[in-house]
Each structure stands twice: as structure tokens, then as C-alpha cells.
């Protein structure tokens, strides 16, 4: 009888320990995941670094892309930025020709003038950002870009 009681107590202790370890690992994994997400979005709690590449934006360059069908797509522009941060983002290309901002979806072939008077185009973290000059105008709204005035 005493052996059964000791066995039952040990079994309960082992069960409690296993459940405790499971819960500890589960909570720790959630914290690690949140920490990883925060590091990706904002390393060391700092503001997200803005990726503004300095280049000669007055010179036209040819940019090459490939759509999902493997076809080559060429864009001639002063500067281009490709969307990031979501599935299919690389299909969404923004580019400057002078101060005109164009949007091209390389998978569908859609090509639109979406703003004028744009002074700069860059990635701000994972967001495509366009700087509007004092005379800048948004001609067509686009969900993949933000504007700064």
C-alpha cells in the first residue's frame, strides 16, 4: 500500500514537472517570437533605419525585372524602389522619371503615373516612401506606398 502511494506521488510530481516545462517553453517561445519580430521591425528598440541610397537621381538607368512567367520587364527611370514585406511584393515597383512617380505591377503589366512633384523615393523599413515637394500632387492612391510632405 505504501509503495502504491509513493508511486502515485512520484507520478503526480513527474506530471506536474512535464506540464511546467511545457508551459515554460511555450511562454518563452512566445517571448522569443515577439523579441524577434521587434528586432526585425526595430532593432534594439531604435527607430527603423531608413534606406536612402544616395545616387545621381538625374541620370536615367535601365532596371531589369522578371515576372512570374519568366518574362523580362525593363523600366527606364532615375530611381526605382521595389515593395517589400509581403508575399508578392517584388511585383510592385515604384520609379521616378524626373519628378513623376510611376507604379508598375510587373505581374499584370499595369503601369500608372501616380504622383507628380516627387523629390525622393526610398524604403523606410519595409515601406516604400515618396517625398512630395511643395508642388507635389498625388494623382492616384496606391496601397503600397506612403507619402511625406
Q: What digits encode the pLDDT tens for the residues 109-136?
A: 899 999 999 999 999 888 899 999 999 9
State residue 121's pLDDT score: 94
| H helix or E strand, kind and range, residue 120 | strand 111-124
Query: Which pLDDT does position 18 carry in this prediction?
Result: 85
* Residue 132: all three cell numbers together: 512630395
pLDDT tens across 16-68, in order? Answer: 888 877 777 776 654 444 444 444 444 444 444 444 444 445 689 999 988 88
Q: Which helix (H) or strand (E) holds 29?
A: helix 2-41
Q: What is the pTM of this model?
A: 0.62
C-alpha 141/C-alpha 145 separation (Å) is 9
Report DSSP state, residue 100. Answer: E
Amino acid at each position: 500500500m505504501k509503495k502504491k502511494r509513493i508511486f502515485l506521488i512520484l507520478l503526480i510530481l513527474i506530471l506536474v514537472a512535464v506540464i511546467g516545462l511545457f508551459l515554460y517553453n511555450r511562454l518563452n517561445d512566445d517571448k522569443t517570437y515577439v523579441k524577434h519580430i521587434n528586432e526585425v521591425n526595430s532593432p534594439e528598440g531604435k527607430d527603423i533605419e531608413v534606406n536612402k541610397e544616395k545616387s545621381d537621381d538625374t541620370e536615367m538607368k535601365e532596371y531589369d525585372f522578371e515576372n512570374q512567367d519568366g518574362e523580362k520587364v525593363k523600366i527606364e527611370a532615375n530611381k526605382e524602389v521595389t515593395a517589400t514585406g509581403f508575399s508578392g511584393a517584388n511585383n510592385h515597383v515604384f520609379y521616378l522619371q524626373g519628378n513623376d512617380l510611376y507604379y508598375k505591377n510587373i505581374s499584370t503589366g499595369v503601369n500608372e503615373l501616380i504622383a507628380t512633384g516627387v523629390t525622393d523615393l526610398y524604403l523606410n523599413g519595409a515601406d516604400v516612401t515618396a517625398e512630395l515637394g511643395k508642388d507635389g500632387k498625388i494623382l492616384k492612391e496606391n496601397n503600397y506606398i506612403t507619402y511625406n510632405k
